Structures are given as C-alpha cells and as structure tokens.
Structure 1
Amino acid sequence: MEISEFVHQVDGFDGLAPKEKIKVCAWFLHVHKAMASFDNEAVRNCFKQLHLNSPDVSVYLPRMAVSKPPELLRERSRYRLARSVRSELDKKYGVHQSVIQVSRLLSDLPDKIPDMTERAFLREALSCYRAEAFRACVVMTWNLAFDHLLRWILADAQRIADFNAAIGRRFPRKTGLVVSSIEHFEELKEAETIDVCQNASLFSKNTTEILREKLKKRNMAAHPSQVTILQSQADDVVTDLVNNVVVALV
C-alpha cells in the first residue's frame, strides 16, 4: 500500500496539524513499510508522495521526542512512535495482518490491469475488504474475476471460436447461440459459461474447479442468509481468484 492510498482511510487528514500528520506518516512507515524506525528523510518522502509541503521535520521530530510524555522515541538520528501513540493509532487504523497482505495483493494489481472496468471492480473489492465487509468483498472479487474471464475469451479469435463451438456440445438446446460480445454472455448463466470453457478446454481442470468453487461462495455471499462470511473465507476467495484468474489468464 502506498501513503496516498492509506490517507484516504484517515478522516480529515488534510485538516490535521503538522504534528498529527507526522504521526500518521510514522504509523504508516511502521505498519505498511515494515520500518522499525525512520529518519527525517522517510517522513519528508511521505509528504512528497502526497504532494504536500513537508513541515520542518528537523524541528518537529526532536520536539516530539522530548515532549512529556514523549510522542517519539529517539535512537540517534532515527525515531519510532512511543508505545502509547502507536497503540492509539493501531486502534484507529490497524487491521489484521492478513488484511494488509490481501490489500497489498489487490493494490498491486492496477499496474497489471489496463481495462478501466476491471479497475473499478478492483477498487470496490479493496474498499470492501478494508472495511471488513467480507460478504461484499466476495461478491465484488467474483465480479472482477468473471468480467476478466469473459474479456479474456473475447480477446483471442481462436478462444472465442472454440467457446462458440462448445456451446452446442455442452448445451444442445443453445445450439445456434454465437457469442461475440460481452452482452451475448447474458444468454448463459455463469455456471454454464464455466462449463462451456471446460468443454472447449480453454484452461486447466484446476482453474475450472477454482471458478466453480468460488461461484458457490459468491452465491452464498450474495443472497440473504444466516451464513456469516468470515475474513478467512474472503482471504481464500480473493487470493485464489486474483492469482489464478485475473493474473493467470492473460
């Protein structure tokens, strides 16, 4: 995760006093950049990436270290947040480590995804996961992966020809259906699309099983029920679909 992305989670960041902005940057460096301590330049770089003028950190950091109680602990030319300040910020912005890992996985994808529609799905999934709206995350991640699958089929003339040839073999009642655009896929249920892909041997048996399993989880998440969608379930859906569909099918 980059600092520009993180500050969107910080309510009223632009209106914070310089010292409070420094604390936020310091917490970001500790948690999201795995820095045990930081120096003046690391803090300045955070402000630079945010396109903000940096406060005079050579003045602020020493003052924060000698305040009572100290807000920073000084180690020669480096600093780290005092425990009380770190704990307070953990409560505000902290998330489970696996949330951070999956968020990083998702946030690394935009550079690999040129299609703007897929990017929109990605942003939605990322927002849902961070908000611990795991049911919505499962639904949106499926949307991302399935949309990618359809566009991947259409992107290659041989793939779409093989897909169309397999429709009638797998579903005789749909003989005559020819898919040549995203809208045409509406004539097939999602499970039917996966079955046709399998019949056409467009990808491996493992990919087929992943899609079938995740479609079941999407259906469970999308419909009102007493079933609770846990973080671990969202982790599984996100990592499997991102790695084995969105990234793998190119």
Structure 2
Amino acid sequence: MISAEEFIKPLGSGFTAKSAPQQVVIFGWYLHAVRDQANFGTGDIGACFDAAHVARPPNIAATLAKLVERKDVLRSGNSFRLSANARSAMERMLPVRTSTVSTTKLLNDLIPRVANPVQQTFLNETLRCFKQDAFRAAIVMAWNLAYSHVCDRILASHVVTFNAQKKVTYPKLPDITKATDFEDYKESQVIEICRGARILDATVCKHLTAQLNRRNSAAHPSSATFVAAQAEDTITDLVNNVLLNPAV
C-alpha cells in the first residue's frame, strides 16, 4: 500500500510550504483514497505526519475544528471526513502524479513477461482502463490478472498439495484438475487453502485478501468513488507482491 510519505512525494517541498489546514486535508484525502477509510480521527492524521516525516501542526484537533467551520471537513462525534468540495479540490490538485506515470510503466514493462493469452488480455485491459481513468474497472482487471496467475501456479506446481489441503478445509468442493475447476471456488477460499497448505506465505495471502476486498467494493454496485491513488495501490501491490514475486 502506498505510504503517506510516498503519497506526498510528488508535491515535493510544496507540501511543507502549505498551511496546516491544507496539509491536514491532503492527509485526509490520503486516508480516504488510499487507506479506504470512510472516516478518520486526529490520531490518524497525526500518524500520517509521523509516517511522512513531517512535523505535526501544533494542534491537529484545533485545525480540524477550523476545517469543520469552513465546511471542508464534516464531523460526526470524534470522526471526520472530507466534504465533497474538498474531495474535488484534491482530485484537481493531484490529477497526474509521479506514481501514475510509474504505474503505467510497471504495466507496460510487464507485457513481454506475460505469456498466458488470458492473462495478456487481463493485462491489456488493466492498462487501457487505467490510462482512461476508469479506475474502478482497472482495479477489477488487475485483480483478475493476479488471481489468474495464482491459479496457474497452483495447477503447474501445487495441485496435489492444494487438493490435499482442500479436503481438510473445504471437503465438499471438487478437486482441482483443470483451470475451469476454480470456478467452483470463491477467491477467498483459494487464498485460505493456499495459506493452509503453505503454497503461499502469510504475507502474500495478506496482500491478496486486502486487494480482494477492494476488488469486491469496486465490482459491486455502490456509491463508493474510486480514484487514481486506489487503482495505483492495487496495481503496484498485485504486480510487485504477486505477479513478480518469485515465491508465488
């Protein structure tokens, strides 16, 4: 997942030159867009400053109160969220970041390394969606690409181990003998079996589960908005920790 430090890096010294309220709004946007937090507290904002190695404002709570008065932030008890106007302002301020360019390059560099024709289709569609700012679709296609890779690796090298663990975890599911057999499984079940059989280590399974949850949010009808930062995070996470991971 993109860190707070990486998120503000494209702004360079421009971030530290901004006022405390502006900095807080940027980190609020980071918590919404990258960390998938619907709300945040003063502690969350403070943790962002610490993670980015930037000095905290003297009083984050007072800064948030000022933003609430300006209607840039909405308050519910001890929780806060950015207003629609503030979110739109963040989208305009961070439309094309260095991370967007590097994510596109990451996908382009992957093209000659993907031999499976089905995965080639997923990769091409991920790249096309991302370039066209169809971030919800890019998240879904990036997941399809990574999950297809996992299934291929199971079939190629771990099918006996997988089926043995499946008999313990989900005995009613059919054995895996060909790619289409995975259609009888939920993706979460495949991840759980792989972890139990130690086909994938706990860290890889953690990354897969986090991105599956985001894929589910993106794929199902909802009022959730998906932006560049979320698609970048999903793509870079799945490419680096799954597709290019020699342990997978």
**TM-score bin (small chain):** 0.5 to 0.7
Q: Quote the residue 1:141 is aligned against.
A: 142
The reply on whether 1:245 has 2:242 as its aligned counterpart is: yes
Q: Does 1:168 align with 2:167?
A: yes
How far residue 222 of structure 1 moved from its aligned partner, in angstroms, is: 0.3
Instruction: Please give the per-residue CA displacement for 1:17-43, whole angstroms capped at 9, x wherever unaligned.
Output: xxxxxxxxxxxxxxxxxxxxxxxxxxx
Deviation at 1:98, TM superposition (A): 2.0
SS at match of 1:224: coil
Mapped pair 1:181 → 2:178: yes
For 1:224, the equivalent position in structure 2 comes to 221
- In the alignment, structure 1 segments of 5+ residues that lack a partner are 1-93
Q: 2:100 maps to what in 1? A: 99
- 1:179 is paired with a residue whose SS is coil
**Is the 8 Å Cα contact of residues 210 and 240 (structure 1) preserved in structure 2?**
yes
Gap regions ≥5 residues in structure 2:
1-94
RMSD: 1.4
Could you tell me which amino acid in structure 2 is paired with residue 215 of structure 1? L
2: CA distance between counterparts of 1:165 and 1:141?
A: 29
User: Equivalents in 2 of 1:108, 1:192: separation in Å?
Assistant: 31
Q: Which aligned pairs between 1:62-141 and structure 2 lie closer than 5 A?
A: 95-141=96-142
Tell me the distance in 2 between the aligned counterparts of 1:108 and 1:116: 16
Structure 1: how far apart are the matches of 2:206 and 2:96? 31
2 CA distance for matches of 1:151 and 1:171? 20
Provide, for residues 57-78 of structure 1, a one-character-per-residue CA deviation record: whole Å limited to 9, x for no partner.
Answer: xxxxxxxxxxxxxxxxxxxxxx
Residue 172 of structure 2 aligns to a residue in which SS?
Answer: helix
Distance in 2 (CA, whole Å) between partners of 1:155 and 1:233 is 31
Deviation of the 1:231 alpha carbon: 1.1
Amino acid at match of 1:131: Q
Structure 2 counterpart of 1:248, one-letter code? N
Most deviating of 165-174 and 145-154: 165-174
Query: CA offset at residue 96 of structure 1?
Result: 3.5
Aligned-residue offset at 1:173: 3.4
Q: Which residue is equivalent to 2:28?
A: none
CA-CA distance at 1:95 after TM superposition: 4.4
Distance (Å, rounded) in 1 between the aligned partners of 2:179 and 2:219: 22
Q: Which of the pair has the greater relative contact order for Cα pairs under 8 Å at 6+ separation?
A: 2
> What one-letter code is carried by the residue in structure 2 that aligns with 1:170?
T
The answer to whether 1:236 aligns with 2:233 is yes
- How far is the alpha carbon of 1:116 from its aligned partner? 1.6
**What do the CA deviations read for 1:76-123 (whole angstroms, capped 9, x no partner)?**
xxxxxxxxxxxxxxxxxx943322110000000012111121111111
Aligned amino acid, residue 115 of structure 1:
N
TM-score by length of 1: 0.59
Structure 1 residue 166, shift from structure 2 partner: 0.6
Alignment of 1:197-216 (within 5 A): 197-216=194-213
Residue range with higher mean Cα deviation, 112-121 or 207-216:
112-121
Identity of counterpart residues, as a percentage? 37
What does residue 43 of structure 1 align with?
none
Q: Segments of 4+ in structure 1 off by > 4 A?
A: none
Amino acid at match of 1:160: V
Q: Determine helix, strand or coil for the equivalent of 1:137.
A: helix
Deviations 1:162-182 (A, max 9, x none): 0000111112333xx210111
TM superposition score normalised by structure 2: 0.59
Query: Do the aligned partners of 1:99 and 1:129 also contact (CA within 8 Å) in 2?
Result: no
Larger radius of gyration: 1
Residue deviations 1:169-216 (CA, integer Å, cap 9, x gap): 112333xx2101111111111111111111110021000000111000
Task: Name the count of aligned residue pairs.
Answer: 153
Asked if structure 2 preserves the Cα contact closer than 8 Å seen for 1:99 and 1:130, the reply is no
